[in-house]
Amino acid sequence: MADQPQSDTAPKWWSRPAAPEAEAEAGSAAADGSAQPDSVPAADGGPQAAEAAPAPRYDPWGEQPLQVADRGRAADGGHVVRVRHALALGLGIALLAGGVGGWLGVLAERQSSTRLELPQAAVESKNRAPESVAGIAATALPGVVTLHVRGSTGSGTGTGFVLDGQGHILTNNHVVSDAKDITVTFSTGESVTAELVGRDSGYDLAVVKVEGVRGLHPLSLGNSENVKVGDPVVAIGAPFDLSNTVTAGIISATGRPITAGGDKGDGSDISYVDALQTDAPINPGNSGGPLLDAKARVIGINSAIRGADKGDSDKQSGSIGLGFAIPVNQGKRVAEELIRTGRATHPVIGVTLDMEYTGDGARVGTKGEGGKPAVTPDGPGARAGIQGGDVITKVDGVRVHGGDELVIKIRAHRPGDPLTLTVLRDGRERTLELVLGSANGS
């Protein structure tokens, strides 16, 4: 097909500004090579206005694509300004979007963290029932103290508790036996110097006193005769210098014969205790601390533990649930005597025991120390009819299995108390009545 002649009159929305050279030309070549007039008749056959200039045709292969020119600004400078403005505007929008996005992200993270908070119980009253462990501890702790002792052979830590408003404090003898300096620290952290009032190695009890301390909290004393196996108890002390340590357990046994001490070798420092046994954890440093009942009353003074065998008798191991406390009735009597006179008295029966006897019961010796009679003339035993060689098998109907147990049972009483002894003599049992005598303790 032959090419159709092209019209020189393109629609104006296709047009672009004519170059000055185009306006000067008289005409243009036709597609078939024939000359074209300067003006072309209008579609309706009428003449076109003289001032109308011919429009150039769109050349898609030209140097610039079709665009609408802004005749009011320079072509090059305006383009550069528009690009810069566009870049600045785009950068600003990007920064703003980034900032807003970051803020929204932080807000979302905070909101997300809040939503992930785990459920928790509300704050409740810290008050506890008086008979609970926490209630007992709250009542007793202000009256419990920690003792730091420095002596000629070293230093140590023990526990004690306030007896009265005058500043008397009860503890174990083995805590302060070698003391040169004694410092008492209260549960509030206040520390003061204490002086030794009196001590007794046979009962393993001692009393010290502080001066000038206000607001003392003496602990209430219970009655160890009321204690039953299975009763709940609380122990307070400073095991391994961890002051104000509270442990709980039960009474495991009563009337448990315990001997402790004996480090001197001559028996002068052996303590004999008709002890309360407890499984409340007790460790070195608890010595002298209170054993409390469910009403926060002192029923015993923690004194000894049975440690696990470690193959080294010089080292005391930790608690294995076998702790022993001096009954408070015994502690009360000894404390009163120590405060009053500085010394405690011991009940005696006036006989010398054969501690080498291996049979059942406690045998009275045939000779005393220095060739003296084994039964003190006109002593409590002699007046009751005890003879050398007698074997004492029971005290007030309770069986004893050795000399130590007999001493323990006797020291559980006061001087002047009556006792009933069951004695085996020549294969026959006899019942003897006696009244305990008194001797000064060490």
- Residues classed as catalytic: 174, 204, 287
By CB neighbour count within 10 A (0-12 exposed, 13-18 middle, 19+ buried), where does 198 fall? buried
The residue count for the chain? 442
159 beta partners: 146
Written as six digits, the tokens of 176 are 């302060």
Checking DSSP bridges between strand 179-186 and strand 271-278, what pairing results, if any?
A: unpaired
- Would you say 235 and 290 are in contact if contact means Cβ atoms under 8 Å apart? yes
Cα Dmax for the chain: 172
Phi-psi region of 241 (alpha: psi -120 to 50; beta: other; left: phi over 0): left
Burial 233-254 (b: 16+ CB within 10 A, else e): bbbbbbbeeebbbbbbbebbeb
State the residue for tokens 């929204």.
Answer: 104
- The two tokens of residue 124 are 């409740």
Answer whether 202's CB lies under 8 Å from 441's CB: yes
DSSP 346-387: EEE-SB-B-TT--SSSEEBPSS-GGG--SB-TTSHHHHHT--
Q: Is 19 helix (H, G, I), strand (E, B) or coil?
A: coil
* Distance between CA atoms of residues 441 and 203, nearest Å: 9
